[in-house]
Each structure stands twice: as structure tokens, then as C-alpha cells.
Structure 1
Amino acid sequence: MTGFAFAELTSPQVGELLTAARRPVLLLPVGSVEPHGPHGPLRTDELISTGVCERAARRLAGDPELRVLVLPALAYGVTRYSAAFPGAVSISEDTLCGLVTDVCQSLVDGGFRHIVVVNNHLEPEHVAAIRRAVAAAGVGYLDILRRANAERLTEEFRSASCHGGRYETSLVLADRPDLVDTGVMARLPEVHVDMAAEIRAGRTDFVAMGMDRAYCGAPAEATPDEGQSTFDKLTEMLVEVIREVAGRR
């Protein structure tokens, strides 16, 4: 990510951003450490968030008005639904909200007023904490659960049966295929679980929802091409948010 990573700059180089002609916009990827089936990496959500941020920074590299940089990712989130499986690491809603708020507020206090949080871990309590944080800090947020955004994504995503399935696995295959156990992936049957409906019914863990291998959807149908197409759509959404945030005074 040479050229786009905020934390790879020196302190004087960061200082120069504040007086440069191009307005700096900082992107904060957020994810989780959480099981994504027997085939996908624990860092799936963070990997997707970081991948979208990097692609947006590259897409805007030649923009004459904006300088887009990617902050170090926040890899931990509220992940209680997967607690029955090895590898789940959860923090509290207050910890997550406080961490995102503090990071953003510190940057704002340092002169960086244009920040966008990018999150791809969609456990409801996690999302609520992120929304509280961006509101408290007054920064931007790529909210892929907004209807207008969700409608631009894949059929599996819109079905709400997409944890470690075709949607997420395709994204990982497009970015880090070495992290997917494709031999296992190819043998996995489709598991249809409407997670949104299950959550509304009061079920708050994967096993109770019928996800006894920590996935739902159709991972065996995942392809790098679909993942790249989805990354393109997510990147378009993020660029739109970046331009909106950069236009604020």
C-alpha cells in the first residue's frame, strides 16, 4: 500500500498534509476477528474493509483536490454471535464506540477534519456502536446496510444469508486467495439462514440460527471475479462518501 498508508509517513510528512493544496481525507477500516466457516479467515471483515479503502485511495490517487490515505485498521469488534467457535474475539460495544470515537477525535484535534469510517462486520450491536461513534466524532461513514447501498450489492448480500458465503468468500478470493481453504470451500453445501429474520426473532448466536459450521450462504459458488465486481461497487460507494465528506467545511 505504499503511498496510501497514513502510518507509513513520517511526522513531518503528516504535518505537510495539513498545509498542502490537496485536502487530506483519512479512511479508517474496521472489522472483526471472527469465524467465517471452516474455509475463510478470521480477519475476513477487516480484510474487506481494508481492501475497499486501499482501492478508493488508488482510484483517487490522481485527484487534484484530494489526498486519500488509509489509517491502520481496527481489527476487533463486537462478535458475540460466533462465540461458540474457536477464534472469536469480542470487545464490548462501549469499548468499540470509545475506540472509534477517540481515534477519530484525536485526528480531528490534530487538524484532520475529513475522516470516513469503513466497516464490514455487520453484527447489529457492532453496527450500532459504530454509528454512535461516527455521530459523536462528526465523521463520515460508509454504511453498506443503508437500503440505497445494499441494493447495489449482490443477491446473496441482500438475502441476509451471507456470512462466510458466496458474497464474503468471493471478496477474500479477489484480495487474498491464499487465505481461503478452497478445497474445503468447494465441498460446502449451501446453508440458507435469513440472519436478519433470526435476529428479529431473538436468536443471537450462530448455532441457534442453524449455522453449525459458522457460515451461511453458498461459499462453494464464490469466485474471484465476483469478488472483484463487488469490490468495484463498494469502492464506488466509498468514493461517493469521500467526496461528500471532503465537501464539508
Structure 2
Amino acid sequence: MTQFAELTSPQVAELLAGTRKPVLLLPVGAVEPHGPHAPLGTDEIISAGMCARAAARLADDPEVRVLVLPTLNYGVTRFGAAFPAAVSVSEATLHALVVDVCGSLAAQGFSWIVVVNNHFEPAHVETLRKATAEAGVAYLDLVRRRHAARLTEEFRSGACHAGRYETSLVLAERPSLVDTVAMAALPPVSVNMPAAMAEGKNDFVAMGMDLAYCGAPADATGAEGRSTFDVLTDLLVEAIREVAR
């Protein structure tokens, strides 16, 4: 069993009293448009998938016991506001949630926590950086250069919202949620999102993403998603090892 919320209270007490360090993973995502083909919950699906794989990989580890916390599904997401179903919370709300959840756990003795995020809107990422620093917990920051360098070419290009990178991951994790007919008909859309943001463009339409995607979703495959999940899981396991030192 790797899901924290599936344990009983006595089982958690046993966990805290055990010899293996309990490391908790907090998956974070957002509810926002991911083109006409991928689900609104793409980001949290990827975060939860990473966490589940890391917990499974370390299931028999003698030093750590890894458990996955319930996913924090809502984030700061204003770029997709022109499309239906973009659900955003404020920076203050996200900050308070992360600090309060981590603080509550730390007060009970859970000193080893890693926040795992796959929603990369700048205000969201910056809020998580500040919140995790305040809470004194780890944050696996995938957009940092040393991490991004290990991921796919599309991810590194910055043209990866609901494109080949993200769609492949959802095909690997929840294939039934991808409209593969719509996906196959989508032409590549080349948008360097970091550059567009630097120019002051703050929504998908202004960036040239008229269908709320960029990159090449038609090229996505479950095989690529599984390969990418392997790398993401490597990164997360490394972060867990670092936290548990």
C-alpha cells in the first residue's frame, strides 16, 4: 500500500515508529485546458503517475518508506482563462495550502516531504518555490536546467503544453482519457512559451495557441510516455534519497 490516505491512524503510528524513514510525496497539478484532445487534469495525472512509480520502485527499500499524499488538484492557472474549464486559485491560496498541509504533517513527525509538480505556469511555480521553502520541505523543480536537460527535446524547447511530451505521458498513464482521433488531426504549433512570457504575453491565445496547445501532440505515443516516466521517476527517486539523507 503506497497511498497515505488509505492507511488507518494506527498504521500511520506504526509507520512513524518504524526504522524506515517515512517520505511523503505531495503531487500537484491544475485544472486547465490541454487542447481538444487531452484531459483537463493532465498535470496532476503526470504528477500522481510519477509519485506512484517512485513509491513502487522503493517499496522494498530498507531505508525509506514512500507514501503518496492525496493530490493537490488546483493551481494558479490564468493562461487558459479564454477557454472553458480553466479553474484557478490565487497565489495566496496555493501558498497557504502547501504550507498548512506540510506544516500539519511535520508537526506529527513527518519531516521528509517532497512536492511534485507538473503545472509550469510561472506564478504557480514561483508560489510553490516560496511555499516549500517556508515549509522547509523539498520541491522537485523540473524546469530547473539540470532536470530539464534529462527530459525530451520538446520539453526543453518550451513548446510543450499538451504537445507530444504531455500527451505521451497521459497515453502511458490514462490512455482512455486522450481523444486519439482529435490528437491525430492536430498540426504542430511552434510556440516558445518562455520567450512569449518574456515578451509580456500572459495567455494562450496571445501566444498563438488558439486551441490551447503547442508542440506536436499528433506525434505522441504511449511508448514515449513510458520512457519519459522512467526518467521522471529517476529524478524523483534521487530527490527522495537526498531528502532522506
TM range, smaller chain = over 0.9
Match of 2:58 among 57, 60, 64: 60
- The aligned residue for residue 97 of structure 1 is 95
Alignment of 1:8-87 (within 5 A): 8-87=6-85
| Alpha-carbon distance in structure 1 between the residues aligned to 2:73 and 2:25 | 14
Question: What is the CA distance between 1:21 and its match in structure 2?
Answer: 1.1
- The aligned residue for residue 217 of structure 1 is 215
Question: What is the CA distance between 1:141 and its match in structure 2?
Answer: 1.0
Alignment of 1:139-178 (within 5 A): 139-178=137-176
| Alpha-carbon distance in structure 1 between the residues aligned to 2:85 and 2:152 | 27
SS at match of 1:29: strand
Show CA shifts across 1:197-236 (max 9, x none): 0000000000000000000000000000100010000000
Percent same amino acid at aligned positions?
A: 69
Aligned residues: 245
SS at match of 1:207: coil
Q: Stretches of 4+ moved more than 3 A in 1? A: none
| Alpha-carbon distance in structure 2 between the residues aligned to 1:104 and 1:246 | 16
Question: What is the CA distance between 1:33 and its match in structure 2?
Answer: 0.2
- The aligned residue for residue 229 of structure 1 is 227
- The aligned residue for residue 202 of structure 2 is 204
Match of 2:105 among 93, 104, 107: 107
Question: What is the CA distance between 1:96 and its match in structure 2?
Answer: 0.4
State whether structure 2 residue 174 is matched by structure 1 residue 179. no
Question: What is the CA distance between 1:79 and its match in structure 2?
Answer: 0.5
In the superposition, the TM-score normalised over structure 2's length comes to 1.00
Show CA shifts across 1:86-115 (max 9, x none): 110000011101101110010000110000
| Alpha-carbon distance in structure 2 between the residues aligned to 1:100 and 1:229 | 30
| Alpha-carbon distance in structure 2 between the residues aligned to 1:202 and 1:76 | 24
Aligned-residue Cα RMSD (Å) equals 0.4
| Alpha-carbon distance in structure 2 between the residues aligned to 1:68 and 1:159 | 32
Query: Structure 2: any 5+ residue segments left out of the alignment?
Result: none
In the superposition, the TM-score normalised over structure 1's length comes to 0.98
Q: Write the letter of the residue equivalent to 1:166.
A: R
